Amino acid sequence: MRQPSAQRGAPRQRRAHSASLLRSAIVIGVILLWEILVRIGVIDGDFLSAPTEVVRAMADLLGDPDAQEAFRRTGSSILLAFVMGTSAGLFVALALGASRLLREAFLGPIAFVLSTPKSIFLPIFTLIFGLGGMSAAAFGAFESFFYVVVNVIGGLGLVEQRHLKVADAFGARTVHRYADVILPAALPGIFAAFWYGIKHAFLGVMIAQLWASDGGIGPLIRTYSAALKTDYVLAIVLLITIVAVVAGALWTRAETRMNRWRSTGAATVATI
Amino acid sequence: MTMNIESVTLTYERAKGDPVTAIRDIDLEVRRGEFVSLIGPSGCGKSTLLHCMGGMLRPSSGRITVDGEPITGPKPSRAAFVFQDYSLFPWRSVVDNAATGLRFAGVRKAERRAVAMKQLELVGLDHVAESYPAELSGGMQQRVAVARALAMDPQIMLMDEPFGALDEQSRRRIGIEMSNVLTEAEKTVVMVTHSLDEAIFWADRVLVMGKGPGRIVREFVVDAPRPRRLDFMTTASFDTLRAELFGLLEGAPEEVVAP
């Protein structure tokens, strides 16, 4: 006999709590083991700094004006890459979504470029834009553009003809068709597009800055790596990870809020 | 309000390019406050005719007018649709769905929500106004679709198999409820249905369509006052009419099906 849902909920909550404890215990255990292995000399501290040193380096970085300037430059490059890549991607996706001819002509090539490693194009961006922040931003925009296009088109595929028919029957103008039917229906794809847009803008900017750049986090990592300051390198990686995790959590929260009308996950768009 | 349909023919092209005549030379007059049912075999052009009446399809020839004004496109304040699959916007609350047409017409939010709430009260759904469609049963969703159409205060309601997606019991119960609501609201209704019982129970006139191409082959007058009670379905006149319709649709296919 099946138990009532309230009774089934209690063990599930206990299990989730235990899983959370187990996860935290493993992370703390690994950090402790790492610290001990560095302290007793099993791991060479020059190549892998102890966690306590990484935390100390992080505090130094947060108070260092040069590091702050590097983070600011990388942040603005990512933002610029995201804005450029997402705007262009949205515009192209809406154009492809509106025209079957354009879709048949260009979706194939876009999907092809999406599947190729785009870092092979990086030297072209460096040649055109030089070593400044614009080069990294342009490459980040290029990285994100294709993901935005494909995900927005996937979202547009969720728009149902019957809803457009209702809109027409109730006197919707073009602006209403977009605002009241197309955009809400395509929202999962648009959210996925924005998320992949920011993720790949970040990736593109970091790759470009690590490859060749005169400012930002990339050169900072290169400098610390060359000087074997692994504690600083790991501190930067940790800071980036914290920012990414917090951004991801906030994004998921916003997406859940915007899509709260969906009672099931059946209509979520496949993302690449 | 009088809707006049004069010699309406609609021909469209198939994907291969060959022309198909969906309906041919339809002549019909729908008078104010009248309930008309359209019934006939699948593919006889019932929905096509309904869509022409609502301005969703433009006839290839002939014309449709309401009080002399030609129909050239959808205008929900003149003719509002209720579709079979409800087609509520799942991302909008029930009250906002009921206010959809008013929003498109540019009515301010507070005003349109007040009108929508009034219509939801009429169909008995004001208590779920802030819920989302996915939280409602099929019957409740269809009542919201009726409220959405009523909110436009249309001269005529065009209902395309409105209860076709419901189970038999809900179909009968909600059908009776909605028939009463629309009678009391003094609406003019044209309803497409596949159900003989529904066609007779609802209508003042039942129009039987034949196919190949779609045309009106017979008209039956249902001489009983509305709103009707469920026991109308057990009367002798209902049975006689039902038998006649059944005979026409099932027993004499050459009249209904052949050109």
Residue B52 sits in the same domain as residue B172? yes
Give the residue numbers spanning the domain of B250: 2-78+156-256
Smallest CA–CA distance, residue A254 to chain B, in Å, is 15
Set of chain B residues whose Cβ sits within 8 Å of the Cβ of A187: 91
Please identify, among B128, B153, B178, the residue that sits at the C-terminal boundary of a domain. B153
Joined tokens for residue B85: 């699959």
Residue B145 sits in the same domain as residue B41? no
How many independent structural domains does chain B possess? 2
Q: Please tell me the predicted confidence (pLDDT) of residue A26.
A: 94
Q: Let me know if residue B84 belongs to a domain.
A: no
Residue B193 sits in the same domain as residue B176? yes
The predicted-structure confidence for B167-195, as pLDDT tens digits, reads as follows: 888 888 888 888 888 888 889 999 999 99
Q: Let me know if residue B174 belongs to a domain.
A: yes
Smallest CA–CA distance, residue B226 to chain A, in Å, is 28
Residue B137 sits in the same domain as residue B168? no
**pLDDT > 60? residue B258:** no
Residue B27 sits in the same domain as residue B136? no
Q: Please tell me the predicted confidence (pLDDT) of residue A7.
A: 60
Residue B133 sits in the same domain as residue B25? no
Please identify, among B111, B137, B153, the residue that sits at the C-terminal boundary of a domain. B153
Set of chain B residues whose Cβ sits within 8 Å of the Cβ of A162: 83, 85, 87
Q: Is the CB of A170 less than 8 angstroms away from the CB of B74?
A: yes
Q: Please tell me the predicted confidence (pLDDT) of residue A6.
A: 56
User: Which residue do the tokens 């019909």 mark?
Assistant: B28
- Chain A contact for B257, CB < 8 A? no
The predicted-structure confidence for B203-231, as pLDDT tens digits, reads as follows: 999 999 998 889 999 999 999 998 888 88
3-state secondary structure of A87: helix
Residue B162 sits in the same domain as residue B143? no
**Portion of chain B with pLDDT greater than 70, in percent:** 97
Q: Is the CB of B132 less than 8 angstroms away from the CB of A162?
A: no
Distance between CA atoms of residues B45 and B57, nearest Å: 12
Q: Let me know if residue B45 belongs to a domain.
A: yes
User: Which residue do the tokens 């023919």 mark?
Assistant: B9
**A&B contacts, CB < 8 Å:** 64
Task: Note which residues in 175-194 of chain A have CB less than 8 A from chain B.
Answer: 176, 180-181, 184-185, 187
**pLDDT > 50? residue A123:** yes
Residue B149 sits in the same domain as residue B160? no
* Average pLDDT rounded to a whole number, residues A253-269: 63
Q: What is the mean pLDDT of chain B?
A: 91
Report ipTM (2 d.p.). Answer: 0.90
Set of chain A residues whose Cβ sits within 8 Å of the Cβ of B132: 261, 263
Tell me the CB-side half-sphere exposure of residue A139, using CA atoms within 13 A: 32
Q: Is the CB of B91 less than 8 angstroms away from the CB of A165?
A: no
Residue B169 sits in the same domain as residue B234? yes
Q: Is the CB of A171 less than 8 angstroms away from the CB of B132?
A: no
Q: Please tell me the predicted confidence (pLDDT) of residue A139.
A: 93
Residue B169 sits in the same domain as residue B252? yes
Q: Report residue A3's pLDDT band, with 50, 70 and 90 as the boundaries.
A: low
Q: Let me know if residue B223 belongs to a domain.
A: yes
Q: Report residue A8's pLDDT band, with 50, 70 and 90 as the boundaries.
A: low
Q: Let me know if residue B252 belongs to a domain.
A: yes
CATH of the domain at B221: 3.40.50.300
Q: Let me know if residue B215 belongs to a domain.
A: yes
Residue B45 sits in the same domain as residue B167? yes
Distance between CA atoms of residues A180 and B89, nearest Å: 9
The string of DSSP codes covering A122-158 is HHHHHHHHTTSHHHHHHHHHHHHHHHHHHHHHHHHTT
Cα B83–chain centre separation: 8
**pLDDT > 90? residue B111:** yes
Residue B52 sits in the same domain as residue B173? yes
Please identify, among B153, B174, B206, the residue that sits at the C-terminal boundary of a domain. B153
**pLDDT > 90? residue A210:** no
